Chain A
Amino acid sequence: MGAHFAGDRASLASYLKMPMPLLRYFSSCWRSLYQKSRLDEELDEELHAFVELLVEEKIRQGVSPAEARRAALIELGGVEQVKERVRDARVGAAMESILQDLRYAVRVLTKSPGFTFAAVLTLALGIGANTAIFSVVNAVLLRPLPYAEADQLLAPMGEKNRPDAHATISHPDFLDWRDQTQTLEHVAAYTRSSMLLRLDEAEPELIYGANVSADLFPLLRIRPALGRAFTRAEDQPTSEPVILISHGVWRRRFNSDPNIIGQQLKRGGAGAGATIIGVLPEGFRFPVQESRTDFLRPLAPALGEWAQRRGAYSLRVLARLKQGVAAQQAESEMRAIGQRLELQYPDEGFRLGLRFVSLYEAVVGDVRVSLLVLLGAVSLVLLIACANVANLLLARAAARHREMAIRAALGASRWRVARQLLTESLLLSLTGGGLGLLLSLWGLDLLVAGSGLNLPRLKDVSLDRNVLAFTFGVSVLTGIIFGLAPALLSVRVDLYEALKEGGRSATAGAARSRLRGLLVVSEVALSLVLLVGAGLLVKSFARLRGVNPGFDAQNIFTTGLSLSKIKYPEAEQRRELFAQLVERVRAVPGVESAAVVYPLPFGGTTTSNTFLIEGRPIPAPSEKPAANYRAISPDYFRVLHIGLLRGRAFTEQDRPTASPVVIVNETFARRFFRGQDPLGQRIVIERASGQATVQAAREIVGVVSDVRHAGLDEEAGPEVYVPFTQAPEGYMDVVVRTTAANPAGMGASLRDVIRVADREQYVPGVQTMTELIAGSVAARRINALLTALFAGVALLLASIGIFGVMAYTVAQRRHEIGVRMALGAQAGDVLRLVLGQGLRLVLLGVAVGLAASLALTRVLAGMLYGVTPTDPATFAVVALLLTLVALAACYVPARRATKVDPLIALRYD
């Protein structure tokens, strides 16, 4: 009958070195999935050929051509119907064979529960870890910001290296900028704020929110759920106080009272008498980094008199670009406006950061790299897990060659067998994936709760559609990765060969052992990369922790007090209260010394002010030097054990009526008074304080040693210290040094003392200085910890993998070992033989791993402190450690090899 038409496919198959049936399978899948119309065409052709043949037959029987065609078409019964039935049949058959595969896979897997359990567990750990990290990446990096057209939102940033370096502006400058801008649709200024919510119950609640300019609402395009937003008219320094509360507060504290609009909050605390004019939409947050927004208030009334001070830079800014305008244009315009204002107000000048970044960048910019590094690390762990499972499957595949051979003899084509194996792999990986999903839920809870991390948007982490899709995708990919090797190998097995008694097919065996060797090498290489990364991060963290902050952080307790402006409107009152407080706290048993300070080191706030040195030419406003500012009580240096280098500390004599004094630090003295004695010099600090608009010149009376106030990784900058009595603040931190290491009840004692001074004063939690410092490096700690954890898991998995492969290889070579021993080989020779083979693989893996590490660790450069990405010590230690561990994993099977009884081994051939 007809000729075979297989020329093309056969040559294509041999070109790709793919067995024909496999190629045919793939091509029919391709055909049916992506070229449905081609399949249709073929079917069409087939049916029309049928009709033509039928017509010919009828013509041969003597029917007229027209009649023949008519009869043939009737017999066909409608091309479309037949095509439909064929399609249904095809789909049905496909489903049936998939179900068959599944049923068989389930049977096979349940018959070897040990293997299945080990494989599923390994995969669950690998996939689960990936899911957990990915959900964090998803929540922090991938989810769009919760504002309309968020890509148009910009935030000006200040210096490059500070993570929280939002640029700040003063209120008058902000107003001018707002009125003069042509490139920005809206500009809004804000500060973060907190207040006490006093309702009829006894305990007031501290709630968090922001003081914002009225433009924020149109800028973010948000509409209150109830009531209305405030207008510019209500955003004046003298306006009556109004407030919008969050949906959550409305529900929780006011029972979703529909008549909430118009209610007034109680007096006491800073929110005295504010009228509620609206309720914010549910889930609304601003700033987006904060974990909650309970209220929004107008900015100007909250600033009070400071709203008119052009020199008070304390407001953050958010801007929305006009459509079609580029960020650079807005930046240049901002600079131009700044220059204009500098000329107009030469004494105060316009100060604002020079860069505009998108709001998204401002929020996630810092953590992006470390999150992606973690994701990369955890994927490496998954790859190692895949290699382990692949090895397991390979071992099993060899044991199953008989089963495969029988199936082939029964007529199953090779690709069918391969498909079956792939189904088993996918079943394993999807089960592992499901279990991993559960594990990640649990692990995530741990991570978010226990780490104390302050990642932006961490609160949003949840298992949403993206994460589920990711988990599913990773599971499928994993199954294909580790299942493909055994599947392909099984296809190449010469099945007749395998049926021979004790069959050890030469080609398949060689291919399999080469693959096993490759897997071991890659596991070792991947583990090395992870270990190097972890080593670098851990070393970096240790270096950082070892940095001396310049003061003694042991045994120091602290809490911050915010004085109500209503209760203590006068500077004198504030000064009096804090002075009294220090006295009383000092009297508490167990307290060695006490002081107050603003701002607290490692407290998350820095204040910086420009200053002028008396007797020197006044520089242009943008070139004025600046120093960090701190208001302290006399004992401050004693509490923190900061050394006094020259001159004197503050005393009780430095009262408001006495001459204004200031103490500077080493860096200040070195930078601005090089070669001179700073003592006796005078500087004017440009900081609005109290009612004074003109700053008095302060005499430098002392020099203290440098302290790292902002972070362990930041060099100390120039600092000025001012006695708080001469510049009282509304908020100060109390710092207390205790004699004992951790006296019980110190927190309670402090609270009691404060309550005595002012019964109504709200006292937030008491912390220790060591806690604060640890908090400042918490992110690095977590990074190092997690990476080390992943590296540890990787090492464990790799060791198990190497152990398994070596044990298997030894078992395979028992015959050979028996022969050698019979020919006189000693235990030591056998040991060397086996270990040598293992060592070769391990060393190759280490070499590849080192090369890969050299290329990859540069990614970590931004995260490291005091360590280079190619730190030779770390590389050397890690390489050595891994080699030793890997050798140890080879050792046990090698020992077992020496115990082979040559007689038994030879007999069992």
Chain B
Amino acid sequence: MAPKKTNLLQGTLDLLILKTLSLGEMHGLGISRRIEQLTDGTFHVKPGSLFPALHRMEQSGWLISFWGESEANRRAKYYRLSRAGQKQLEAETREWGRISLAIAQALQAT
């Protein structure tokens, strides 16, 4: 993750996590790897940013966590999207679209 931590970046991370989990439930490492994959390696989320975000979002009611077993039969904490999280994803996707459109427009001005 870029060294500077701003609200925009936090929101972006949230959006990525929500999107990732909308594709299926996973544990922390899985989420991190999936985000890397989805963004073609642009975003590599370190645990120091990932776990606070996961816990915060769980606190806000967008994620639900549960303990489960990984492929190697190892106990790990899994996360999945709640219904509120689903709504939040939709809302933030729309918002993101607006923002990026606006910025693109601004950058094109001469």
Residue of B nearest to A94 (CB): B59
Cβ-defined contact, B28 with A5, below 8 A: no
Q: Complex Cα distance A94/B27, Å?
A: 23
Q: Are A77 and B59 in contact (CB under 8 A)?
A: no
Other-chain residue from A42, A77, A413 in contact with B47 (beta carbon distance below 8 A): A77
Q: Decide if B4 is an interface residue (CB 8 Å cutoff).
A: no
Q: Knowing A77-B48, A411-B87 are in contact, say whether A53-B27 is a contact too (CB < 8 A).
A: yes
**Contact present for A90 and B59 (CB under 8 Å):** yes
Taking a contact as CB atoms under 8 Å apart, the answer to whether A49 and B76 are in contact is yes
A46-B77, A412-B61, A413-B84 known; A86-B52 Cβ under 8 A:
yes
Q: Is the CB of B48 within 8 A of A1?
A: no
Q: Is B98 an interface residue (CB 8 A)?
A: no
Question: Is the CB–CB distance between B70 and A89 below 8 Å?
Answer: no
Report Cα–Cα, A524/B109, bound state, in Å: 74
* CA distance in complex: A276, B66 (Å): 81
**Which B residues lie within 8 Å of A1 (CB)?**
24-26, 68, 78
Indicate which residue in B53, B69, B72, B75 contacts A56 across the interface (CB closer than 8 Å).
B72
> Cβ of A565 < 8 Å from any Cβ of B?
no
Q: How far is the CA of A42 from the CA of B60 in the complex (A)?
A: 19
Contacting pair B84 A47 (CB below 8 A): no
* Nearest-Cβ distance from residue B25 to partner chain A, whole angstroms: 6
B55–A2 CB distance below 8 A: no
0/1 interface trace, chain A 84-109, chain B, CB 8 Å (1 if under): 01101110111011000000000000
Residues on B with C-beta less than 8 A from A50 are 27-29, 47, 51, 76
Q: How far is the CA of A43 from the CA of B51 in the complex (A)?
A: 9
B51 in contact with A411 (CB, 8 Å): no
Choice from B28, B82, B84 contacting A46 with Cβ under 8 Å: B28
User: Which chain B positions have C-beta within 8 A of A410?
Assistant: 84, 87
* Beta-carbon contact of A86 and B82 below 8 Å: no
Residue A652 lies at the interface, judged by CB distance under 8 Å to chain B: no
B88 proximal to A (CB < 8 A): yes
- Which of A5, A42, A57, A93 is the one whose CB lies under 8 Å from B68? A5
* Contacting pair B83 A411 (CB below 8 A): yes
* B72 partner residues in chain A, CB cutoff 8 A: 53, 56
Could you tell me how many residues of chain A have their Cβ less than 8 Å away from some Cβ of chain B?
A: 38
Q: Mark A43-67, 1 if CB is under 8 A from B, else 0.
A: 1011101101110110000000000
Tell me the minimal C-beta distance from A210 to chain B in angstroms: 65
Q: Could you say which residues of chain A place their CB within 8 Å of the CB of B85?
A: 411
Residues of B within 8 Å of A4, CB to CB, are 66, 68
Q: Is A81 an interface residue, CB under 8 A from the partner?
A: yes
On whether A411 and B69 interact (CB within 8 A), knowing A49-B74, A90-B55, A93-B56, the answer reads no
**A89 and B47 within 8 A (CB):** no
What is the bound-complex CA distance between A1 and B74, given in angstroms?
A: 12
> At the interface, is chain A mostly helix, strand, loop or mixed?
helix
Do B60 and A3 touch across chains, with their CB atoms under 8 A apart?
no
Q: Is B94 an interface residue (CB 8 A)?
A: no
Q: Which residues of A contact B56 (CB under 8 A)?
A: 89-90, 92-93
Is A219 in contact with chain B by the CB < 8 A criterion? no
Chain A residues closer than 8 Å to B87, beta-carbon distance: 410-411
Closest partner residue, chain A, to B90 (CB atom): A411
CA distance A82 to B48 in the complex (A): 5
Residue A416 at the B interface, CB < 8 A? yes
> Counting CB contacts under 8 A, is B93 at the interface?
no
- A82 in contact with B47 (CB, 8 Å): yes
Complex formed: what's the CA distance from A47 to B75 in Å? 11
Within A1-34, the residues touching B (CB, 8 Å) are 1-6
- Cα distance A47–B29 when bound, in Å? 10
**B84 near A85: Cβ-Cβ < 8 Å:** no
Whether A75 sits at the interface, judged by CB under 8 Å, is: yes
- Supposing A93-B60, A411-B87 touch, asked if A86 and B51 sit within 8 A by C-beta, the answer is yes
Q: How far is the CB of A178 from chain B (nearest CB, A)?
A: 71
How long is the Cα–Cα vector from A42 to B68 in the complex, in angstroms? 13
A331 CA to B70 CA in the complex, in Å?
78
> Size class of B's contact patch?
35 or more
User: Which one of B66, B77, B82 contacts A49 once the chains associate, using CB atoms below 8 Å?
Assistant: B77
Q: A753: which B residues are within 8 A, CB to CB? A: none
Give residues of chain B (1-59) contacting chain A, Cβ–Cβ below 8 Å: 24-29, 46-48, 51-53, 55-57, 59
Name which of A50, A76, A90, A410 has the most chain B CB atoms within 10 A of its CB. A50
**Are B82 and A413 in contact, with the CB atoms below 8 A?**
yes
Given known contacts A2-B76, A46-B28, A82-B48, A93 and B66 CB-to-CB distance under 8 angstroms? no
Q: Which residues of A contact B48 (CB under 8 A)?
A: 77, 81-82, 85
A537 to chain B, nearest CB (A): 54
* Chain A neighbourhood of B77, CB < 8 A: 42, 45-46, 49
A contact residues around B53 at 8 Å (CB)? 89
Residue of B nearest to A56 (CB): B72
Q: Which residue of B lies closest to A88 (CB)?
A: B52
- A75 — which chain B residues lie within 8 A by C-beta? 46-47
Partner of B59, one of A43, A57, A93: A93
* Contact A89 to B55, CB < 8 A, known contacts A53-B29, A53-B70, A411-B85: yes
* Nearest residue, chain B, Cβ from A97: B60
Q: Is the CB of B86 within 8 A of A2?
A: no
Q: Is the CB of B28 within 8 A of A97?
A: no
List chain A residues, Cβ under 8 A from B74. 49, 52-53, 56
A53 and B77 alpha carbons, distance in the complex (Å): 11
Query: Who on chain A is nearest to B69 by CB?
Result: A2
Determine the chain A residues whose CB is within 8 A of the CB of B27 once the complex forms: 2, 49-50, 53
Q: Which residue of B lies closest to A32 (CB)?
A: B59
Task: Report whether B52 and A416 are in contact in the complex, using a CB–CB cutoff of 8 Å.
Answer: no
Cα-based distance from A694 to B60 in the complex (angstroms) = 94
Q: Which residues of A contact B28 (CB under 8 A)?
A: 46, 49-50
A76–B72 Cα gap in the complex (Å)?
Answer: 20
User: Is there an interface contact between B66 and A76, defined as CB atoms closer than 8 Å?
Assistant: no
Q: Give residues of chain A (410-429) contacting chain B, Cβ–Cβ below 8 Å.
A: 410-413, 416
Most buried by B among A1, A4, A77, A82: A1
Contact for A6 among B47, B66, B86, CB less than 8 A: B66
Q: Are B66 and A46 in contact (CB under 8 A)?
A: no
Distance of B57 from chain A, by nearest CB (Å): 8
Q: How far is the CB of B43 from chain A (nearest CB, A)?
A: 15
B67 near A5 with CB under 8 A, answer yes
Residues on B with C-beta less than 8 A from A45 are 75, 77
| Across-interface contacts of B86 in A (CB, < 8 A) | 411
CB distance from A729 to the nearest CB of B (A): 82
Q: How distant is the Cα of A47 from the Cα of B87 in the complex, in angstroms?
A: 29
C-alpha spacing A45/B77, complex, angstroms = 9
Residue picked from B28, B52, B53, most chain A C-beta under 10 Å: B52
> How far does the Cβ of B34 sit from chain A's closest Cβ, in whole Å?
12
In the bound complex, how far is the Cα of B55 from the Cα of A183, in angstroms? 67
Task: Evaluate contact between B29 and A2: CB separation under 8 angstroms.
Answer: no
Q: Which residues on the A side are within 8 Å of B25 (C-beta)? A: 1-2
> Which residue from chain B places its CB closest to the CB of A1 in the assembled complex?
B25
Contact of A411 among B24, B26, B29, B84 (CB under 8 A): B84
- Asked if A412 and B52 make an inter-chain contact with CB atoms under 8 angstroms apart, the answer reads no
**Bound: A3/B85 CA distance, A:** 21
A906 to B53, CA, bound (A): 55
A25 to nearest B CB, angstroms? Answer: 9
Closest CB of chain B to A95's CB: distance in Å?
A: 10
- Say yes or no: A413 contacts B61, CB within 8 Å: yes
Distance between B86 CB and nearest chain A CB, rounded to angstroms: 7
Q: How far is the CA of A118 from the CA of B99 in the complex (A)?
A: 45
- B59 x A2 contact (CB < 8 A): no
B107 to chain A, nearest CB (A): 32
Candidates A3, A76, A86, A97; contact of B55 at CB < 8 Å: A86
- A54-B29, A413-B83 known; 9 other A-B pairs, CB under 8 Å? A1-B24, A1-B25, A49-B75, A50-B27, A77-B46, A90-B55, A93-B60, A94-B59, A411-B85
CB<8 Å pairs between A and B, sample of 21 = A1-B26, A2-B27, A2-B69, A2-B78, A4-B66, A5-B67, A6-B66, A45-B75, A45-B77, A49-B27, A49-B28, A49-B77, A53-B76, A89-B59, A90-B59, A93-B59, A411-B82, A411-B83, A411-B85, A411-B88, A413-B83
Which 4 pairs across A and B sit closest by C-beta, in order of nearness? A2-B68, A411-B84, A89-B52, A93-B59
